[in-house]
Amino acid sequence: MENNQSLFPQFLYGGDYNPEQWPEEIWEEDIRLMQEAGVNMVSVGVFSWSKLEPAPGEYDFGWMDRIMDMLAGAGIRVNLATPTASPPPWMTRRYPDMLLQKGDGTHLWHGSRRHYCPHSPDYQHHVSNLVTTLASHYKEHPALAMWHIDNEYGCHQEQCFCDTSAATFRVWLKAKYKDLDTLNRTWGTTFWSQGYSDWEEIIPPRSTPAFHNPSHLLDWDRFSSDSWIERFDDQMKILKEITPHIPVTTNYMGFHKGIDYWKFAAREDIVSNDLYPDTFQEDWIVEAAMVHDLIRSLGHGNPWILMEQSAAHVNWRRRNAPKKPGVMRLGSYQAIARGAVGIMFFQWRASLFGSEKFHGAMLPHAGTDTRTWQEVKSLGNELPALNQLLLSRVIADTAIMMDWESWWALENNSKHVNDIQLIPQIKNLYKAFYDRNIQVDFVHPDGNLEKYRLVVLPYQYILSKEAAKRLDDFVKGGGTILVTTFSGLADENDHIIPGGYPGYLKDVLGLKVTDFTALSESRGNVVMTSEGQVFNCTYMADIVELTSAESLAAYNKDFIIDTPAITVNHYGSGTSFYLGTELDPSGLDWLIERALKTADLALPIKGLPSGVEGVIRQTVHKKWLFLLNTGEEPVSVPLQISGVELLSKTRIQDQIRLSPYGVAVIEMN
Ligand code: GAL
């Protein structure tokens, strides 16, 4: 990834623009209204393959030329999409083998979108022709500012199980294992008579009577993730040859399980994300913050783009929550507070037909005489007030470990507890930091830990010896770690590390887990701290034997009574905490408080009333404090700083009043 700090001179504002769905007479009005709303970039062509190439090899760029020229004339830049997420019907009719196939053998036909198998050579061939032609055609166009490759890789269907995929999987496996003996050993195929004697016997994990081999599943997940990344690479290569100076992105889906975004993000010029929070959920704002922090971390702290959000509701949940007055603005500034340099929407003008006609848009069916339009217009005209923040960063001292491979293996089958899920667990931990306005990064197990004071490992099921060694060194050197149950159990092949859990972390944690017990869904257990606080715990309890660690809290009922549940170990110049169960929120809060004290992490922003989110963006010379009122009541915020509030251009001292869902951005003195 390049350092993309200077890619854009202003905050990007705009959205997906699908002019091909409209008569050309409307386009002029579109452009006039875009200018009125402060739109400076639109994503064009995301789903226009059948319009651009109506028959094999017959290209029609006429309509796109006209709109590209109009946009250039109006000073609106184009984030030009390669429309490869929805191949036209002529293609699947010609090459029925390119349709996605599910694990149960069902084909997924054309008639919606994302129905292609990433391994189909026919699909790849047509993509290469189309992308080469498109890029050559527009390489000099003044509107072209960025490439948007495909759309949400892995959305709807993450994996294809067809025969072509099977053959490609075997090629991937041969490159990885070289010989079948190694594969058989790594997959542990002596179990249930799964030994392979010929590569051709290996198939994707299609529907089976009972559990799949977990090591096979893990490689399949890696392979499937790699396949989408390879399809991105194919296009990236073409685009970089033809337009080397144009930045390239593709849009992610937050904590999307199917693709290892760490691997993916390393290839992009700038990371982008789509986010559609369900505002009916109480904690939607916490989850949104967590996703933004992930996306910023994937790009190693570089600026990123909120590529899609809705200006109002979506149309694909059972009940689609509205964005109440001020909520779209609040969510947009939350993204900026957490590092975004672009606020974009799906989509510009609400469609009159198709399956997204009931989806919110910047310009609703009822036109400009709507609250949504007014909010969109006012945000677009307000954003330039923050242009001086474009080069600023968000700095975090705390990191949560996040690893797609471990996530896949964790949530595979046949464990002693099978209803644990990684993302809710991450969210529980994240919330304890969020509530204190402590900025958090996400870090890969192979990532650089040195810049953090505190590193948290939620359910880090797979942990390599090397990654464990780095954690050990981190603690010896003075760092603090907090490791939860279900961490460090298995190696990269999903084989248990023998000799007691958690594998290679036993020394740094000063303990050995000799067994674990699931807790019944109805009863759980209770954890009591040495100071007498009591917290509920659930899911599972590890049976911990202390070596050098001390117990901070123990279970207080059932046969595990008095067994340590939470421990601390002073190791080298640092400290490690272990949590052998899943704690209720007050327990987690208690534990995080201790970990923060140990890591000597002071609160960066003190005294904010609950419901007010505070985030700092900074450069070497300056700091800006974002205050976000996440509630629907006005609130007064006492301040220990003074400075100018940039959106209202007023000087602030001692306190500031935020309206419902109100936002302030204070340039700190
Ligand atoms: C995204 C997708 C857009 C649109 C949007 C609706 O997942 O990229 O094309 O479908 O959802 O919410």
pLDDT attached to residue 235: 98
pLDDT average, residue stretch 548-556:
97
Mean pLDDT score, 208-214: 97
Residue 274 Cβ contacting ligand 1 at under 6 Å: yes
Looking at ligand 1, which atom is closest to the CA of residue 253?
A: 7
pLDDT score of 2 more than 90: no
Please list, residue by residue across 345-382, b when 16 or more beta carbons sit within 10 angstroms of its beta carbon and e when fewer do: bbbbbbbeeeebeebbbbbbeeeeeebbbebbbebbeb
- Return d(Cα 306, Cα 323) in angstroms, integer: 17
Assign 605 a pLDDT band (cuts: 50, 70, 90): confident
**Residues linked to residue 657 through DSSP beta bridges, in sequence order:** 636
pLDDT tens readout for residues 620-638:
999 999 999 999 999 999 9
pLDDT at 508: 98
How many beta carbons lie within 10 A of that of residue 665, not counting itself? 23
Ligand 1 near 452 CB (within 6 A)? no
Confidence of residue 176 (pLDDT cuts 50, 70, 90): very high
CB of 345 shorter than 6 A to ligand 1: no
- With a 6 Å cutoff on the Cβ, whether 346 touches ligand 1 is yes
Atom of ligand 1 nearest to the CA of 151: 8
Q: Is the pLDDT of residue 655 over 90?
A: yes
pLDDT at 271: 98
Q: In the predicted model, is pLDDT for residue 497 greater than 80?
A: yes
Instruction: Give the whole-angstrom CA distance, residue 453 versus residue 449.
Output: 8
Q: Cis bond leading into 502, ω under 30°?
A: yes
| Percentage above 70 pLDDT, the chain | 99
Placement of tokens 């609400």 in the chain? 350
Instruction: Note whether 67 and 75 are within 8 A (CB).
Output: no
Query: Which atom, in ligand 1's list, is nearest to the CA of 47?
Result: 9
What value does the mean pLDDT take over residues 377-395? 97
Residue 350 Cβ < 6 Å to ligand 1: no
Length of the chain: 669
Q: Taking a C-beta distance cutoff of 8 angstroms, is the pair 669, 641 a contact?
A: yes
Q: Is 359 in the pocket of ligand 1 (CB under 6 A)?
A: yes
Predicted model pTM: 0.98
pLDDT over threshold 80, residue 184? yes
Does residue 542 line the site of ligand 1, with CB under 6 A? no
- Helices and strands, counts by H and E, the chain: 17, 27
pLDDT of residue 606: 86
Exposed / middle / buried, residue 154 (Cβ in 10 Å: 0-12, 13-18, 19+): buried
**Which H/E stretch holds residue 261?**
helix 261-265
Percent of the chain residues topping a pLDDT of 90:
97
Atom of ligand 1 nearest to the CA of 276: 12
Average pLDDT taken over every residue of the chain: 97
Is the C-beta atom of 152 inside 6 A of ligand 1? yes
Question: Which two tokens mark 632?
Answer: 């629907």
Question: In this structure, which residue's CA is closest to atom 11 in ligand 1?
Answer: 346
Would strands 650-658 and 663-668 be described as parallel, antiparallel, or unpaired? unpaired
645 lines ligand 1 (CB under 6 A): no
pLDDT, greater one: 214 or 522:
214
Least Cα distance to 73 among 2, 142, 122, 130 occurs for 142
**How far is the centre of ligand 1, averaged over its atoms, from the C-alpha of 346 (Å)?**
7
CB burial readout 246-283, b (16+ within 10 A) else e: bbbbbbbbbbbbbbbbbbbbeebbbbbbbbbbebeeee
Ligand 1 pocket residue status of 216, Cβ below 6 Å: no
Q: Check pLDDT > 90 for residue 600.
A: yes
The pLDDT confidence band at residue 669, using thresholds 50, 70 and 90, is confident
Report the residue among 275, 346, 356, 362 best suited for mutation to probe ligand 1: largest number of ligand atoms under 8 A from its CB: 346
Secondary structure, 3-state, 197-208? CCHHHCCCCCCC
Containing 516, the helix (H) or strand (E) segment is strand 511-518
C-alpha 450/C-alpha 569 separation (Å) is 20
Catalytic positions: 152, 308
CB contact at 8 A, 527 and 535: yes
Q: In 3-state terms, what secondary structure has residue 432?
A: helix
SS3 content of the chain, % helix, strand, coil (to 5): 35, 25, 45
**62-106: pLDDT as tens digits:** 999 999 999 999 999 999 999 999 999 999 999 999 999 999 999
261-291 confidence digits (pLDDT tens): 999 999 999 999 999 999 999 999 999 999 9
At residue 537, the pLDDT reads 97
Question: 529 in the Ramachandran plot: left (φ > 0), alpha (ψ -120 to 50) or beta?
Answer: beta
- pLDDT tens-digit readout, 24-50: 999 999 999 999 999 999 999 999 999
Q: Whose CA is nearest to atom 5 of ligand 1?
A: 346
Indicate the Cα dihedral angle 174, 176, 181, 182, nearest 10°.
180
Which atom of ligand 1 lies nearest, measured to the CA of 310?
12
Whether the CB-CB separation of 613 and 334 falls below 8 Å is answered with yes
* Ligand 1 mutation pick, 153, 314, 356, max ligand atoms within 8 A of CB: 356
Q: Measure the CA–CA gap between 228 and 234, rounded to whole angstroms.
A: 10
CA neighbor of 517 nearest in space, from 477, 556, 558 = 558
Which pLDDT belongs to residue 3? Answer: 43
The predicted structure's pLDDT at residue 4? 45
Residue 359 has pLDDT above 80, yes or no: yes
Q: To test ligand 1's pocket by mutation, which of 152, 313, 323, 348 has the most ligand atoms within 8 angstroms of CB?
A: 152
Mean pLDDT of 532-551: 97
> How far apart are the CA of 367 and the centre of ligand 1, in A?
21
Look-up: residue for tokens 């429309």? 83
